[in-house]
Amino acid sequence: MSSIEEQGWFETPLGQYLLQREQAYYDQVVANIFGFNALQLGLPDHELLRTSRIPSRIRAGMGGKVALLTAPEQLPVASQSVDLLLLPHVLEFSAHPHQILREAERVLMPEGNLIISGYNPFSLWGLWRALPHNRQHYPWRGRFISLLRLKDWLALLGFEVVGGRMCCYEPPFRQEQLLARFRFMEDAGDRWWALAGGVYFIHARKRVQGMRLIMPDWNESRSARKGLAPAAQKNVQSMKVFIHDK
Q: For the segment 134-173, what is each residue's pLDDT rounded down to a tens digit?
A: 878 899 999 999 999 999 999 999 999 999 999 999 999 9
Count of CB atoms situated within 10 Å of the CB of 34: 12
- Work out the average pLDDT over 104-111: 97
Give burial (CB, 10 Å; 0-12/13-18/19+) of 2. exposed
> Angle between the 13-30 and 3-10 helix axes, to the nearest 10 degrees?
90
* CB of 141 closer than 8 Å to CB of 1: yes
- Work out the average pLDDT over 84-99: 96
Provide the pLDDT for residue 179: 87
Say if residue 57's pLDDT is above 70. Answer: yes
Q: Give the global pTM.
A: 0.81
Q: For the segment 176-209, what is each residue's pLDDT rounded down to a tens digit?
A: 888 888 888 877 766 666 778 999 999 999 998 7
Q: For the segment 218-244, what is each residue's pLDDT rounded down to a tens digit?
A: 454 444 444 444 444 444 344 343 334
Sign of the Cα torsion 31, 113, 142, 61 reads positive
Domains of the chain listed by start with CATH number: 3-206 (3.40.50.150)
